[in-house]
């Protein structure tokens, strides 16, 4: 019995991918197992592939709609014929995937490069490996800030302190009164320009 909902969803998927009319319906790819290998810690997916008219040339997979990559095959030792099945497998590390569900899509390609209908499964990412990497990156970032701070302190320490400027009076004295304030006298503008100052009694 045909699942009408699945058929409609597949039709929309093929339209979105631009694959309408390009699918080789004689090529078959099926998932027979998918789960976490407790020994290796990897999420392993396995299945069978075959072609009704000719052997399938390759089986590809991709994660979350990303780039396609080729799966691993079980060697038969001879060239496959039509309807002859072969096994394929792939393995993913959940620790290297962001936390949450990720969609694995698998397809077969015939000798002309036409794809079969895709099959799907889901892998749960833990993000454990990504958290460690981000933590290491944060540590390196803090170390860089510490080094920059030390370099700044070193450079500031090498700047010469300001020197005291001693002002001398015209008669060779210090030019400062008892309170340490510099004494100054405001002169008329004709004196500043070099003219002879007038005497106090008005005589020439």
Residues 6+ apart with CB under 8 A from 87: 46, 47, 48, 73, 74
Whole-Å CA distances, 164 to 99, 161, 172, 192: 65, 10, 18, 28
Cα distance between residue 57 and residue 29, in whole Å: 12
Prediction pTM value: 0.59
DSSP secondary structure, 81-145, as one string: -TT--EEEEEEE-GGGS-SEEEEEEEEEE-TT--B---EEEEEEE--HHHHHHHHHHHHHHHHHH
Residue 91 burial (10 A CB sphere; 0-12, 13-18, 19+): middle
Cα distance between residue 28 and residue 14, in whole Å: 16
Per-residue model confidence as pLDDT tens digits over 95-150: 999 999 999 999 999 989 999 999 999 999 999 988 655 555 545 566 667 667 67
SS3 27: strand
What is the torsional sign of CA 35, 36, 39, 45? positive
Residues 6+ apart with CB under 8 A from 33: 44, 45, 46, 47
Q: What is the largest CA-CA distance in the chain?
A: 135
Per-residue model confidence as pLDDT tens digits over 70-104: 999 876 667 888 889 999 999 999 999 999 999 99
Per-residue model confidence as pLDDT tens digits over 136-181: 554 556 666 766 767 676 666 665 555 555 545 445 444 555 555 5
**pLDDT score of 81:** 85
Task: Give the CA angle between residues 32, 107, 120 to the nearest 5°.
Answer: 55
Cα distance between residue 106 and residue 119, in whole Å: 5
């Amino acid at each position: 019995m045909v699942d009408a909902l699945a058929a409609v969803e597949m039709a929309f998927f093929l339209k979105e991918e631009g694959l309408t009319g390009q699918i080789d319906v004689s090529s078959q790819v099926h998932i027979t197992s998918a789960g976490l290998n407790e020994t290796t810690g990897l999420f392993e997916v396995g299945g069978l592939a075959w072609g009704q008219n000719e052997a399938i040339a390759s089986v590809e997979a991709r994660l979350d709609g990303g780039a396609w990559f080729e799966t691993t095959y079980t060697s038969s030792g001879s060239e496959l014929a039509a309807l002859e099945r072969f096994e394929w497998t792939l393995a993913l590390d959940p620790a290297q995937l962001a936390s949450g569900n990720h969609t694995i899509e698998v397809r077969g390609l015939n000798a002309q490069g036409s794809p079969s209908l895709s099959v799907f499964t889901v892998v749960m990412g833990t993000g454990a490996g990504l958290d460690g990497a981000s933590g290491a990156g944060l540590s390196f970032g803090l170390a860089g800030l510490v080094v920059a701070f030390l370099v700044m302190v070193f450079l500031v320490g090498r700047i010469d302190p300001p020197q005291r400027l001693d002002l001398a009076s015209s008669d060779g004295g210090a030019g400062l009164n008892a309170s340490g304030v510099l004494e100054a006298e405001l002169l008329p503008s004709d004196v500043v320009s070099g003219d002879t100052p007038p005497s106090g009694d008005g005589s020439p």
